[in-house]
A = this chain, B = another copy of it.
Amino acid sequence: MNNEKLSKNEMNLSALFIGDKAENGQLYKDLLIDLVDEHLGWRQNYMPQDMPAISSQDKSSESYGKTVNHMKDVLNEMSSRMRTHSVPWHTAGRYWGHMNSETLMPSLLAYNFAMLWNGNNVAYESSPATSQMEEEVGQEFAQLMSYKKGWGHIVADGSLANLEGLWYARNIKSLPFAMKEVRPELVAGKSDWEMLNMSTKEIMDALESVEEDMDEIKAHSARSGKHLQRLGKWLVPQTKHYSWLKAADIIGIGLDQVIPVPVDHKYRMDINELEKIVRELAAQETPILGVVGVVGSTEEGAIDSIDKIIALREELKKEGIYYYVHIDAAYGGYGRAIFLDEDNNFIPFEELEDVYEEYGVFTEKKQHLSRDVYEAYKAIELAESVTIDPHKMGYIPYSAGGIVIQDVRMRDVISYFATYVFEKGADIPALLGAYILEGSKAGATAASVWAAHHVLPLNVSGYGKLIGASIEGSHRFYDFLEAETFKVGDKEIEVHTLTYPDFNMVDYVFKEKGNDDLTAMNKLNHDVYDYASYVKGNIYNNEFITSHTDFAIPDYGNSPLQFVNNLGISTDEWNKVEKVTVLRAAVMTPYMNKAEEFAIYAPKIRAALQEKLEQIYSAKI
């Protein structure tokens, strides 16, 4: 009866996707119909003594037939539109763009199945089965981050999870002022500056010690509308994703409190700059509300040195300075699974290569992940909260984001209702909506994430292997691009990669050899994008698809300068043009890890790129 555990190298990713050529299409349909039948049987057998409300008579009426036909016509239009205007990111080796690929079959099946019941996880009562699953998913997230007393839940998306993280930080940071008003002995003898630099743990301990006054203290916190402007600055990487601007706007601290921290030429937060900014602010007695570390940046897949952000905090603590740390691991969060053994222990760096061989994480004995990245992932356990999106590296369909907090007590800080009601003695909130930013939410999403986590455990035996396939595929693409040049007429077109990937994203540019005009190079890359996207007509006929982005000075400062200089482009040119357009491939395909598979696609990609370049150059004439 029990689900037998697979042994170390038995997880076969090929069994878990519908497949680029629908290789598992029949399996998908069989499983889908079995599940639908189980649901239909459930409907029929709830009170079998009740006769059907829709009679055979009804079903043979003219209006029934016409209504069914009308519905079919609408579905046909939808199907035609979907097939005409959708992006083929299920392909094994032709889509090298946004953070998309096909999604896990068990998640699709679980969603399709669970949505037939349409549970609403806002309240346990509306969704007993899927509320339980969401609680388990939250615990799995906490384990993934090595949080011993953590808690997590599913969020509609990463922007909202980030907003919720900021909400936590804001309300927690304001509590000492609220305590001073309600229970001053809790912060007795502390100056405003000291209150603004209490650690999250100190604040939570103090709050817990006066449970009877918790509601009154919360009523005096930032949620009242007070204190917002004195809480200090919110530090985000300079490449700031617009979701952080939105979040600061919405949460009311305001854009004026957002301070960008420059990134280095690897597009990671520059820790020296961070320290400088924090010290300068501290010197003016301006507190730091919090620092956001990014694990898997949207445009580069860069992984900030979380270990150094935390180490700096440890150092500054001695000087009475403290900041909340939120990790935006919307993209890279699931990547932590590649470092966990089956008992959820963080694997020593020296053992990784052997472990990967044992579990078949990479097809070749080669270490793709740097020590820097390893240390960054390890240190996540010391941050207060983490955004993690199942619908990105979890290979789960949209919309499924997530958030995890280090200390379950934190949820009291944003929760509503004086009476904390939990289900049947368990730790499942009777009304989850009172503990989170959102309200109604699909139970089906929880079933979908739960099924994925139970098929692929969040460690090296499960997700680690899937993430490994993606990383290895990205390295094959990186190596391929590094070796490539094209000839178009008498022009030689070089390919240059931006950085060695921290994770699984490869940014690259085309450059006409000998032409050191940055504007021309940007135009060339924008043209390549146009020909490698929906912009130039029917995407279903497109043999190579990618995405693009601009690194401009307002968001990037001079981080791209080293790259630009290495291409032979002058600093003057950079200062004049102020941006570089790059092509970008988030490599999520699970099929390109194998050398022989990639070898099949490499000439196809080369031919498609050659054709696009020729089109671009012939259009120029």
Contacts and interface: CB of A to CB of B under 8 A. Distances in A.
Interface stretch (A77-85, A363-371, A482-490): A77-85
A230 to B, nearest CB: 11
Interface stretch (A22-30, A194-202, A311-319): A22-30
B253 A252 contact: yes
B78 A447 contact: yes
A441 B398 contact: yes
Given A18-B116, A440-B391, A254 B223 contact: yes
Contacts of A251: 250-252
Contact of A398 (B59, B81, B443): B443
A93 B115 CA distance: 21
A190 interface: no
A53 B20 contact: yes
A505 interface: no
B242 A223 contact: no
A575 to B, nearest CB: 21
A120 interface: yes
Given A78-B451, A86-B119, A86-B129, A159 B70 contact: no
A572 to B, nearest CB: 26
Interface in A76-111: 77-79, 81-94, 98, 100, 102-103, 105-106, 108-111
A557 interface: no
A255 B225 contact: yes
Interface string A432-446: 011001111111110
A35 B100 CA distance: 22
A246 interface: yes
A43 B68 contact: no
Given A43-B90, A50-B604, A116-B108, A447 B82 contact: yes
A153 to B, nearest CB: 14
A157 interface: yes
A191 interface: no
| Copies of this chain in the oligomer | 2
Chain A, interface size category, equals 35 or more
B225 A397 contact: no
Nearest to A52: B21
Contacts of A32: 32, 36
Interface string A530-565: 000110000110010001000000000000000000
Contacts of A59: 14-15, 23-24
25 contacts: A3-B73, A6-B63, A18-B40, A22-B41, A23-B53, A38-B83, A46-B91, A50-B604, A53-B92, A53-B93, A75-B113, A77-B454, A108-B116, A111-B115, A120-B391, A122-B157, A156-B399, A157-B441, A219-B255, A225-B254, A245-B416, A249-B414, A250-B437, A391-B440, A397-B444
A171 B52 CA distance: 53
A119 B63 CA distance: 34
